[in-house]
Amino acid sequence: MIDFARVQKELQECSRDMESSGIKVAPKSDNLARLTGTIPGPISSPYEGGTFQIDITLPDGYPFEPPKMQFATKVWHPNISSQSGAICLDILKDQWSPALTLKTALLSVQALLSAPEPDDPQDAVVAQQYLRDHQTFVGTARYWTETFAKTSSLGVEEKVQKLVEMGFPEALARSALESVGGDENSALEKLCSG
């Protein structure tokens, strides 16, 4: 059974110092078991300037079991799958402790962005590139940040406008954006598939 009272407290705590940490956690719906975390790309890393969305699913045993976290925004990083967004981080596995919180976990994920550990990779291709051709790695990571992590920095109205220009009805575009948490690419995908 998830300790929802605690999750509630965590959300409050997080929103209180959102300004300073830049880290945001919001429930996807009324159900507190599924949340979306947002972290800014760390300064002086190829991820600088990007805003990264992370899907969070709380297991039944939370806070005794670690939250499941996965990048919703595409990232080029040795410890994050470029396909699925799966994160390889010890505190999200056996080193998790109830002393940690969603916020501290997201801070660790943010720290992982600045300090990749290519020797313990999640994405072997990226890790190879990181070790053998660092220049290209930085370039790719920066390009991915520009392409996937910056669209969400646009205001909602601008995004709606963009989608309307593409030929979708405004109401539909707006609801699609809302349902995917404001991510323009996902909204587009949704609109195209729907």
Partner 1 sequence: MQNEEQLTCRIEDLANCCGGVDDDIMQKQSTEYQSASPILLEKIKVLGDKYVAIRRTRGDGNCFFRSFMFSYLEHILETQDGAEVDRIKLNVEECRKTLQSLGYVDFTFEDFFALFLEQLDDVLQGNENSISHEELLNRSRDQSVSDYVVMFFRFVTTGEIRKRSQFFEPFIFGLTNTTVEQFCKSSVEPMGEESDHMHITALSDALGVPIRVVYLDRSSCDAGVVSVNHHDFVPAPGNPPSATSASSESINPFITLLYRPGHYDILYPNYGTWNTCVYVVGWVDGTSFMLLSLTCIYYGMQTIKEVRVMEAVKINLNHEETQGCKAKALASSVFVLYIVINVQMLLNCEWGPKCRLPESFRQSSVPI
The residues with which 82 forms a beta bridge, in sequence order, are: none
Least CB distance to partner 1 at residue 138 (A): 29
User: Which of 9/134 has CB closer to partner 1?
Assistant: 9
Q: Does 100 bind partner 1 (CB under 8 A)?
A: yes
Least CB distance to partner 1 at residue 150 (A): 32
Place of tokens 């593409």: 166
Stretch that binds partner 1, among 96-104, 112-120, 123-131, 158-166 (CB under 8 A): 96-104
Place of tokens 């499941």: 68
Separation between Cα atoms, residue 189 and residue 193, nearest integer Å: 6
Sign of CA dihedral 13, 16, 18, 24: positive
Applying CB under 8 A, among 31, 57, 97, 153 the residue interacting with partner 1 is 97
Active-site annotation holds for 88: yes
Q: Does 64 bind partner 1 (CB under 8 A)?
A: yes
Element (H, E) at 76: none
Closest CA to 92 of 55, 44, 125: 55
Question: Are 123 and 81 in contact, with CB atoms under 8 Å apart?
Answer: yes
Q: Does 34 bind partner 1 (CB under 8 A)?
A: no
User: Which of 64/143 has CB closer to partner 1?
Assistant: 64
Binding mask 101-140 for partner 1 (x = CB under 8 A): x---------------------------------------
User: Which of 102/127 has CB closer to partner 1?
Assistant: 102
Question: Are 76 and 82 in contact, with CB atoms under 8 Å apart?
Answer: yes
Cα 169 to Cα 3, 160, 164, 175, distances in angstroms:
41, 9, 6, 10
Question: By the criterion CB under 8 A, which residues form the site for partner 1?
Answer: 1, 3, 5-6, 9-10, 13, 64, 90, 94-101
